[in-house]
Amino acid sequence: MHEQPEYGVANQFRRECSVRRALDVLDVKHRRIEEDLQQFIQHLKLLVPAIELSPETRISEIEILEEALERLGDDAFADLVLRILERVY
């Protein structure tokens, strides 16, 4: 049985509407997550203080954050945080 052309166009239209709605929701969520991460990174010095091991050796907040991201094991999230970190610093 062949699908009538008008049903094909209607289905494509419904699909396009659904994709656009999903895109709008994803865009808002993406912007909120980026804003939260930017705020976190801007307050990083307060949240994750640097460590002075000796007068010559100091571990920065950024090094601590990078190591924590490695241990987290989520490469996509780590890339997002590091990308925002580069923008902020």
Query: Is residue 9 over pLDDT 80?
Result: yes
Cα–Cα distance, 85 to 49 (Å, whole number):
16
Query: Is residue 6 over pLDDT 70?
Result: no
- pLDDT for 20-79, tens place per residue? 999 999 999 999 999 999 999 888 888 888 888 777 787 888 899 999 999 999 999 999
Cα–Cα distance, 19 to 41 (Å, whole number):
32
pLDDT at site 4: 59
pLDDT at site 52: 81
Model's pTM, two decimal places?
Answer: 0.70
Q: Are 36 and 88 in contact (CB under 8 A)?
A: no
